[in-house]
Amino acid sequence: MTKIKICGLRTREDILAVNQAKPDYCGFIIEVPKSRRSVNREQVKELTAGLCREVIPVGVFVNAPANLPVQLLKEGVIAVAQLHGQEDEAYIAGIRERTEKPVIKAFSVRSAADIERALASSADYILLDQGDGGTGKCFDWSFIPEIERPFFLAGGLGKDNLEQAVRSVHPWAVDLSSSLEINGKKDGDRIQEAVSIVRRIS
Ligand SMILES: O=C(O)c1ccccc1NCC(=O)[C@H](O)[C@H](O)COP(=O)(O)O
């Protein structure tokens, strides 16, 4: 069954919405000043405290000092670290050794070579995305070959292309953010609709 991650949660209303819709994962953009979805470590602690147990909390980081994801993983505030910057193999290895928790490494796809680079990653999961993350835009899925390892597909996914993405690209998980927002805020009905689409077709 294809898994679904809802990313960029910021408020208690967002938590109530995912508790109801029950995606497999939810994501928090943590201390990324350039993102309007950024939350600080205290906020993410408060938010995840209200999260139901079935939904796995993922911390999304961009070139953060490694102590930030390590501390939050060790405290159990997040269960998975998603690295969305230029973190290298040594950084990934360090987090895994220090925490024994899973790591998702995101790659921006502009060519088939970017996919090759992603496939060589030692991370537990790779995430194929457009641009810097949270852009609401798709990349060209025709770059994606048959992939044996589990991967997240992200970038511009929404109700109009979710079914096509699952059926044609066969990702292990889909990751959505922008299309689930109205005026910059997550919308509970859109979250529910996206989860229902994925549950129905997988
Ligand atoms: O969402 C952000 O603002 C963001 C900022 C910096 C790094 C990553 C970010 N988002 C990561 C995600 O996992 C998004 O869900 C993913 O890129 C898909 O986004 P969208 O195209 O908006 O559905």
129 tagged catalytic = yes
Domains of the chain: 3-201 (3.20.20.70)
Angstrom distance (rounded) from CA 120 to CA 68:
25
- Over residues 90-145, the pLDDT tens digits come to 999 999 999 999 999 999 999 999 999 999 999 999 999 998 899 999 999 999 99
- The single residue of 14, 24, 26, 129 carrying the catalytic annotation is 129
- The pLDDT of residue 202 is above 90: no
7 tagged catalytic = yes
Q: What is the 3-state secondary structure (H, E, C) of 131-190?
A: CCCCCCCCCCHHHCCCCCCCEEEECCCCCCCHHHHHHHHCCCEEEECHHHEECCEECHHH
ipTM of model: 0.97
Distance from Cα 149 to the centre of ligand 1, integer Å: 21
Tokens encoding 50 = 């209200």
Distance from Cα 90 to the centre of ligand 1, integer Å: 24
The mean predicted confidence, pLDDT, of the chain is 97
